[in-house]
Structures are given as C-alpha cells and as structure tokens.
Amino acid sequence: MKKRSITSEKRDNILGWLFCSPYLIFSLVFFLIPLCWAFWLSAMDWNLMSPDKSFVGFNNFRQLFGDAKVKAAFVNSFRYLVPIMLLCFLGGLVIALLVTQLPEKLKGITAVLFFIPYLTSGVATSVVVKYLFTYNSVLNVFLRDHFDLNISWFKNGKIAFWVITVLVVWKMSGYYALFILSAIEGVSEDVKEAARLDGSVGLHYLWHVTIPMIMPALTTVLVLASGLAFGIYTEPYLLTGGGPQLATTTWQLEIYYTSFTRFQSGYGAAMAIANAVQIFVVLRILNFVMDHFNRKFGW
Amino acid sequence: MKKRVISMFMAAVLCAGLCACGGTAQNSEGAAESSQGQESTDDAGSKSSSGEVVEVDFWSAPNVDQFNFWTGKADQFNQAGIEVDGKKIEVKVQQMPESPSSEAGIQNAIATGTVPAASENINVGFSAVLADSEAIYDIQDEEWYKEIVKNREIESAVAGWELGGKQYVIPEYINPMSLEWNVKALEVMGIDVPETMDDFREMLTAFTEHKAELAEIGVTHTFYRPALLRSDQWWERWYDFQMFYQSLNGGGKWVDGNQLTFTQEGMEKTLEMIGMLGNTLMVDEIEPLWSADEVPVVFSISAPWEIQALTEAGKVYGQDYVYGPCIVEKAGDTPYSFGDSKGIVFYKHSSISEEEHNGAIAFVSWAYSEENSAQTDLEFLETMNMLPVRGDLQTNEAFASKMTDNPAYVDLAKYIPNTLPAMAHAKMTEIQEAFTEAAMVPYIQEAMECEPMNAPDASAYVEASIQAMKDAGSLE
C-alpha cells in the first residue's frame, strides 16, 4: 500500500515537472542563458564583431561611476519614476472610478476607449507629438499669434521632460485603470451594503472602503508603473534623443547608444546589469512599503 | 489513464509549440548560410553547391527603392547565368534590418553568423569599424576592384575611402553637401548667393535691414539647423561643422590616423561663423521646410535626396531654391564640402563560404563591368535621385538626359570634386559626440542669446572639445 503511494507521488512529481517544463525551458533559453551571457559580456571589451575579445574584469563596472551619461540615466530614472508612478496611479484610479459610475452598457466600451492609447505604437504617438510641437504646428502658431509665446518644446530640458512624462502617463493610465476597475468591480455587495448602512458615501467611502479593498490591485499598478519608468525608450529616442544635455535620457537609451552606436557592447552589458540592480533594489523597497500598507488593511 | 494521456498530449503540444518558435541557423531568405565555424562553412558550401548553384546573399539599404533597384539587378544577373568555377551564381537580395539601426543590424548579423556575403549602405566611418574588427575584405589589390575603379573613373574618389593604406569599399553614391538658399528671400534682401565670408556678413546685415519685408513673405530666421542642439545626433557634425570647417580652412582631415588634425584656430573660426547668426538661428523642427508655401528661413544645409519631392511639390530650382557652395574665407578659395557617400563591402565571416564570397564578387563586378556600369549607375540615379560616384558623370552621354532634366543635378555634380569624406576612424562616433557635447551644443546655446554679427568667443569651448575628443578617441 505504502509502495503504491510512493509510486503515485513520484508520478505526480514527474507530471508536475512535465507541465512546468515549457515555462522552465522558456525561462532558461530566453532569460537565464542571456543573463549569464550578459554577465560574461560585461567583463569583456568587445564589439560583438571583432575576433579580438579582451577580458577586462570589473573595469566596465568601475567605468560606470565616472560616466556622466550613466549618472544622468540613474538620476533621470528617479525623476521619471516619481511623476510617472503617481500620475499613472492617480490617472488609473480616476478613470476606473469614473467608469464604475457609468451605466453597465457603457462600461465596457468606455474602458476599451481608455485602453486604446496603450495599444497604439509608441513610435506612432511620438511622431504625432513631434509634429504637434514643430515650429510651424497649429499649436505653436496659435501660441505665437495670440500669446506671443515662442516655446522650444524639445530644446528646453524641463519642458521636454514633462512632454515625455505626460505622453507616457497618457499612454499607460488607461491600461492600469483596467486593473483598478476590475478590483473595484470585485468588491462584494455585502461590503458595499454594510458601508451604505453605516452612512459611508463619497470620499469617505472611497478612502475607507474602496481603497483598502483594492490594495492588492493598487500595489500591482504601482509596481508596474515603477517598472515602466525604468524602461522608457521610444519616446525620448524619437523626440529628444535624450537631450538637451542629457535632461531626458534614460538607461535604455544609453544602453542602446553604447552598445549599438559606439559599439562598446561589453560596457553596454555592464550598464544593463547596473540598471537591473537599480530596478531590483527600487522594486524591493516599493514592495516592502506596499506590503506594510497591505498588512495594515488586512491583506 | 485518461488523465495521463491528456497530460502527455498537452505537454507534446506545448513542446511542439516551443519548437516552432525556433528556427534554423539559416537565413530565412534561403541563402546557403550556416551559423558556426569551419565545419558549418563546409556544410554551407555543400548545400549551396547542390545542383551546381551557389546562393549568395546581398543586403540592400533598408528602403524599398534601393531594395527594388538591387533586386532588379540580381534578377538580370541571375538570368545571365553567370558561373564561377563551373557553378551558377544565384543572388538573393534582402533589405538589411533597419531597427534599431542598419549598423546595429549588421553588428547583430556578424555576431550571430547571419551576415550576407556583401551589402551596400556602408559609410566610411562604419567601414573603419568593420575593418578594425576584421569583418570585411581588403579589396585594394584585387584585379576586379581595379577594373571597377577604371570603368567608373573613380580613381580620385576612392582615395577618400582609404583606411590605413587599404581599400575596403566600392563607393556607390555621393551627395555633395552644399547650402540651399531661399531665392525669394535673397531677392528681398537684394543679394546673390553668398560665397565668401564678406558675402555672408552682407547677408546678415541685409537680413536685419529687411526683417519686416522678409516677414511679409514668411521668412523669420536665417539658418535652419535643429541638429545643432542635438548631442545625440553626432553624425550631423559632418553636415555642419566638418563641412564649414573644410570650406573655411582649405580642406583638411578631422582625424588623420590617430592624430586630431583639425586646428584650434580653424575650429574657433568655424564655430564663430555659425555663432555670428546669433538669435536668427532656427533650431526648432519645421515640417515641411522647403516644400512649404512659405519657407521661413534664408538657408539650410542642402538635402539633394529631396530634389524629386520638391519638383513634385511644384518647387522650381532657381526660382524657389538654389544650391550654393559652402562659405569660403575669400574669393578664389576652394569650397570644400562634405561628401555624403556610401558604398558596398564584402563580409569576412566563417559562415560565408569561399564560393559565396566569389559569387558576391561576380555579382558586383558584373553590375559595374565595362559593359554594365553606366547602365547600373544611371538606373540608380533614376531610382534614387542621388548621384552615383562616377568621374564621368558630366561627360558620359548616358547621364546627359537625366542631368539636364533638372539643373539642380548639374550644380550638385560641380561640387563633387571638392567633397571630402567623413573621418575614417573606428571611434568616429565617440569623437564627434565629444565635440558636440563639449563645444557645439553649449556654444550654440550661448550664441543664440546674442544679436547677429556678435559671435561669442569660441576658444574655451574649442579647447575643452579638443581634450574631450582626444580622451574619447584615444587620439594624440
């Protein structure tokens, strides 16, 4: 009897591994092997083309500390992180709350409308935005004619930074709103009824019932939005190239320029690893903080 | 049991799905390429030799027109049934990857062993990187190369492509860069196309004096150049700084070997010439510029590739826009300028068999043979509206009709003998980036605060940029 049970357990284990194997193989091929290769590449001075590969140990990592472009990418990633995380969170929350107020028939279509920017290519939206801010665009002609305002949208670091930030937030808020909307819709009728009986309405209901009830979804949105802030590439690449004077540059942009424009692939790999470490640390801190809030609200 | 069967079936489906995501090391276009080492090369050779046919990959530039042009050439070549060592050569043309850039696409192809036997779209700077990486063949002493040079009369042109005393590239086309002037603005100002520094100062004075009249025809600024403040667009320095330096200083190389050869004095003079334009510079993007009803600037860097589009937009060369030489110090000086030129290289890689390499040579030699070279270059000019690199462009009957078709081409062709190439240095990107960041961007920002004709002193910026360029390119 015992022998049969052990055999059955073994068989279940094998089946479990078998079911997991596609994902494990996928992770091995597309994550683990490239990761190991990136570590190896980061210790080399190599352009991926030359037969000469020099082992430089940690030199590439040492070089990171004196590189003004890396410093700018590091600082800018936090400059992007704060507004993008907050605005995506608030934008998603506001959209979701508005959609929940709509009649059932309109909810689905409205949610999809807000979701469309997410589906639109970053290249397409960037090109449209670039055209919108050209010297002879309708907007600029209007501003010059009526307000005597001549704005160099992408030659001023602060303005260019906010144009990119708003573009990213506009693109992603609708997507995050779906997470929040689904969580709001999932709040049980019992809870809603209990709140109503206790006289909780409006902002009080939002603050004391809705937000605590959707904390896991809000955590997901905050984590995703912060990850997004570290991965910005298309918008600054097409609109500013990271300038003026590195004001809008990002890790992804600098990794691209280093690896594929200057052909310093080893150094580019070191930058990518440094970026990964920064993302890991920030996300751990964010998770820690959000766990605290989640525990506070009983999650 | 049923459970087990279902689970096995699902696992098999998932595995099959994963396998389908993969591919062979072979190029999807079917070229006889393989991915690894000598063994694979032999394998590739035997595959390509089956049926006595050697398949050769050729990459065109990442645009439909150049792809169509080279596909047409390949079709003609394949139909001609040309053989090398008793085996028929079949050329297959594919567009090189455009994203993230064609250079990165080639870098990736070399790294993964999917590089073609030959490609076009290589400038002298990237050829220096490829040559430095031993990724392309030195063709200097090859008889077929000498034949191509003779057939196209490009002995002087190829001198600019020399890298460390060797030749790696067959020059294909050249855009002799010059200045594009707004004819209507020049008429309002009552001046001819400026050619010397005195003319340039006169133009600036006239611009200030006729500002109100110019505004009536929509002209608000002198020089359109958004790239002046884009530190990421290092390549744009060919079209402004290098070009102006060479015209103002009697030519000269930016870098020669491992030596920074642009002089401090020459660099200051060049920056201050641009700085003289002060707040009349236009650094914001304008779309469209020269095809718009009202062109808001007096001049810009020419864009010869736009000639066809301007003609289609109803713009007439000589009435709406005209090309002028780069500004020289004084009358009689040679207006040297930048020659935006690209060419063809042959890749050296273990995945490319000897047969494929020879097949690629046969194809390019055929296209530029004594019999076909004029036709190939004419077709290129007609398709791309860019001037092929030929010494006989103005004298060869084959090009006469196209050249007289639009006088813009005739004027451009005149500038070709004075064009100079980009620096041939493997760290060209870093050097030009360093200059842009240390000198061009901060200097222009300061200059744009000034009134025209009051260029700020550029010496501090130039000094800083010299050190930055030496550090970036390990130059002496």
Q: State residue A4's pLDDT score.
A: 62
User: Closest residue of A to B99, CA-based?
Assistant: A260
CB pair distance less than 8 Å for A261 and B134: no
> Of the candidates B275, B303, B318, B261, which has an alpha carbon nearest to the alpha carbon of residue B466?
B261
Which residues is B343 bridged to in the sheet? B122, B171
Asked if residue A47 is part of any domain, the answer here is no
pLDDT by residue for chain A (299 residues), tens only, comes to: 556 666 788 888 899 999 999 999 999 999 999 999 999 999 999 999 999 899 999 999 999 999 999 999 999 999 999 999 999 999 999 999 999 999 988 988 998 999 999 999 999 999 999 999 999 999 999 999 999 999 999 999 999 999 999 999 999 999 999 999 999 999 999 999 999 999 998 899 999 999 999 999 999 999 999 999 999 999 999 999 999 989 999 999 999 999 999 999 999 999 999 999 999 999 999 999 999 989 988 88
CB pair distance less than 8 Å for B103 and A244: no
Chain A residues interacting with chain B (CB cutoff of 8 angstroms): 15, 18-19, 21-22, 25-26, 47-51, 130-131, 133-136, 152-155, 240-246, 256-257, 259-263
Asked if residue B189 is part of any domain, the answer here is yes
Q: State residue A11's pLDDT score.
A: 84
Asked if residue A52 is part of any domain, the answer here is no
Is the CB of residue A92 less than 8 Å from the CB of residue A177? yes
Which residues in chain A are closer than 8 Å to B231, comparing Cβ atoms?
A: 241-246
Asked if residue B353 is part of any domain, the answer here is yes
Same domain, A10 and A139: no
Residue B7 has its nearest CB partner, among A18, A51, A130, at A18
Same domain, A175 and A247: yes
Query: Number of structural domains, chain B?
Result: 2
Same domain, B166 and B189: no
Same domain, B186 and B319: yes
CATH number at residue B333: 3.40.190.10
Same domain, A190 and A287: yes
> Of the candidates B62, B60, B64, B69, which has an alpha carbon nearest to the alpha carbon of residue B377?
B69
Same domain, A35 and A68: no
Same domain, B255 and B202: yes
Query: What are the distances in angstroms from CA B168 to CA B13, B131, B421, B474?
Result: 50, 7, 14, 23
Same domain, A33 and A72: no
Exposed/middle/buried for residue B395 (C-beta within 10 Å: 0-12, 13-18, 19+): exposed
Distance from CA of B7 to the nearest CA of A (A): 8
Cα distance between residue A113 and residue B21, in whole Å: 33
Q: Which range marks the domain in which residue A249 is found?
A: 61-296
Which residue did the predictor score with more confidence, A76 or B158? A76
Cα diameter, chain B: 96
pLDDT in tens, B432-458: 999 999 999 999 999 999 999 999 999
Same domain, B217 and B234: yes
Helix or strand run (H / E) with residue A55: strand A54-55
- pLDDT band of B4, cuts 50, 70, 90: low
Is the CB of residue A91 less than 8 Å from the CB of residue A243? no
Is the CB of residue B269 less than 8 Å from the CB of residue B276? no
pLDDT in tens, B185-239: 999 999 999 999 999 999 999 999 999 999 999 999 999 999 999 989 999 999 9
Last residue of a domain, one of B382, B398, B418: B418
CB pair distance less than 8 Å for A25 and B233: no
CATH number at residue A161: 1.10.3720.10
Asked if residue B436 is part of any domain, the answer here is yes
Asked if residue A83 is part of any domain, the answer here is yes
> Of the candidates B217, B392, B385, B405, which has an alpha carbon nearest to the alpha carbon of residue B303?
B385
Cα distance between residue B51 and residue B47, in whole Å: 9
Same domain, B263 and B315: yes
Same domain, B442 and B348: no
Q: State residue B40's pLDDT score.
A: 33
Cα distance between residue A157 and residue B63, in whole Å: 33
Asked if residue B28 is part of any domain, the answer here is no
Which residues in chain B are closer than 8 Å to A49, comparing Cβ atoms?
A: 107, 110-111, 129-130, 133, 135
Q: State residue A268's pLDDT score.
A: 97
What is the average pLDDT score of chain B?
Answer: 88
Exposed/middle/buried for residue A299 (C-beta within 10 Å: 0-12, 13-18, 19+): middle
- pLDDT band of B244, cuts 50, 70, 90: very high
Q: State residue B26's pLDDT score.
A: 39
Residue A49 has its nearest CB partner, among B18, B111, B427, at B111
Sheet holding B297-301, edge to edge: B221-224, B297-301, B179-182, B321-324
Which residues in chain A are closer than 8 Å to B286, comparing Cβ atoms?
A: 134-136
Which residues in chain A are closer than 8 Å to B10, comparing Cβ atoms?
A: 19
Asked if residue B186 is part of any domain, the answer here is yes
For an interface test with A, give the residue of B225, B232, B282 to mutate (most A CBs within 10 A): B232
Same domain, A5 and A89: no
Asked if residue A215 is part of any domain, the answer here is yes
Rounded to two decimals, the ipTM of the complex is: 0.83
Q: Which range marks the domain in which residue B328 is found?
A: 179-339+427-473
CB pair distance less than 8 Å for A154 and B130: no
Which residues in chain B are closer than 8 Å to A133, comparing Cβ atoms?
A: 285
pLDDT in tens, B51-100: 689 999 999 999 999 999 999 999 999 999 999 999 999 999 999 998 77
Asked if residue A261 is part of any domain, the answer here is yes
Is the CB of residue A249 less than 8 Å from the CB of residue A236? yes
Same domain, A163 and A289: yes
Residue A241 has its nearest CB partner, among B107, B230, B296, at B230
Same domain, B124 and B247: no
Is the CB of residue B365 less than 8 Å from the CB of residue B156? no
Same domain, A173 and A268: yes
Asked if residue B17 is part of any domain, the answer here is no
Same domain, B49 and B82: yes
Same domain, A129 and A259: yes
Query: Number of structural domains, chain A?
Result: 2
Helix or strand run (H / E) with residue A45: strand A44-45
Three-state SS across chain B? Answer: CHHHHHHHHHHHHHHHHHHHHCCCCCCCCCCCCCCCHHHHHHHHHHHHHHHHEEEEEEEECCCHHHHHHHHHHHHHHHHHCCEECCEEEEEEEEECCCCCCHHHHHHHHHHHCCCCCEEEEECHHHHHHHHHCCCECCCCCCHHHHHHHHHHCCHHHHHCCCECCECCCEEEEEEECCEEEEHHHHHHHCCCCCCEHHHHHHHHHHHHHCHHHHHHCCCCEEEECHHHHCCCCHHHHHCCHHHHHHHHCCCCCCEECCEECCCHHHHHHHHHHHHCCHHHCECCCCCCCCCCCCCCEEEEECCHHHHHHHHHCCCCECCCEEEECCCECCCCCCCCEEEEEEEEEEECCCCCCHHHHHHHHHHHHHHCCCCCHHHHHHHHHHHHCCEECCCCCCCCHHHHHHHHHCHHHHHHHHHHHHEECCCCCCCHHHHHHHHHHHHHHHHHHHHCCCCCCCCCCCHHHHHHHHHHHHHHHCCC
Same domain, B197 and B256: yes
Asked if residue A117 is part of any domain, the answer here is yes
Is the pLDDT assigned to residue B7 strictly greater than 70? no
Same domain, A119 and A266: yes
Distance from CA of A104 to the nearest CA of B (A): 38
Same domain, B69 and B189: no
CB pair distance less than 8 Å for A244 and B18: no
Same domain, B195 and B292: yes
Same domain, A89 and A34: no
> Of the candidates A264, A234, B105, which has an alpha carbon nearest to the alpha carbon of residue A242?
A234
Same domain, A230 and A183: yes
Asked if residue A51 is part of any domain, the answer here is no
Place of tokens 């290289």: B345
Same domain, B208 and B299: yes
Asked if residue B7 is part of any domain, the answer here is no
Asked if residue A285 is part of any domain, the answer here is yes
Asked if residue B322 is part of any domain, the answer here is yes
Q: State residue B100's pLDDT score.
A: 79
Determine the residue type at B221.
Answer: H
